[in-house]
Amino acid sequence: MKPLSYILLLFAGSLTMHASVIYTLDVNLSPIVPGSEMSGSVTVGAPLTPGESTPIIFTFSDPADYSPSPLDGTLTVGSGIGGFTVAFPETTFTDLLTHKTINLMARGMATCPATSINASGIPCEANGGWQDNDPADYTGTYSVSVAYGSSSPVPEPSYSIPLLVVGAVLLWRRA
């Protein structure tokens, strides 16, 4: 009975491996300060589903021009037509050159399409829009990149069966 337990644990462990997912968000702030950009990247254990969010830290291409720097933010995944959206909720920081408070909000979400060939919508590169205040003082674009942290989203099934067979043979020879 004990060898069977080991085999089951070995097989279950091979099925529970997950690939990480990397979300990268780049916000073009050139309408506010020419050549300026805010960007962040976060790695999560599994793809976020609509309604989920994760903390992300944004850095500025010219950190001396903004406060706070770096900026704590949130990356949010939502439902979109034919896929999922990736955006950020209202994010507030100060432009130190003009001493103006910027209330950045996503408008026209970046949408990663899901297709019959790629049901998860990953990998994805998409663009969305943002505005400062409502009504808008400035408008601009942001880009999103979503990719698996390894070469494939899940381990190949062919690895778990041979691993199970090798484990079973070793345990049977030992018993």
| pLDDT tens-digit readout, 105-132 | 999 999 999 888 888 888 999 999 999 9
| pLDDT tens-digit readout, 4-14 | 555 544 454 54
**pLDDT at residue 120 in the model:** 85
**Can you tell me which residue has the tokens 């601009």?**
140
Mean pLDDT, residues 43-54: 93
Euclidean distance between CA atoms 26 and 41, whole angstroms? 9
Euclidean distance between CA atoms 83 and 50, whole angstroms? 10
The pTM assigned to this predicted structure is 0.73
| pLDDT tens-digit readout, 69-104 | 999 999 999 998 889 999 999 999 999 999 999 999
**pLDDT at residue 118 in the model:** 84
| CB atoms closer than 10 angstroms to residue 56 | 19
**pLDDT at residue 149 in the model:** 85
Percent of the chain having pLDDT more than 70? Answer: 75
Mean pLDDT, residues 23-44: 95
Residue 53: name the closest of 22, 103, 105, 89 by CA.
89
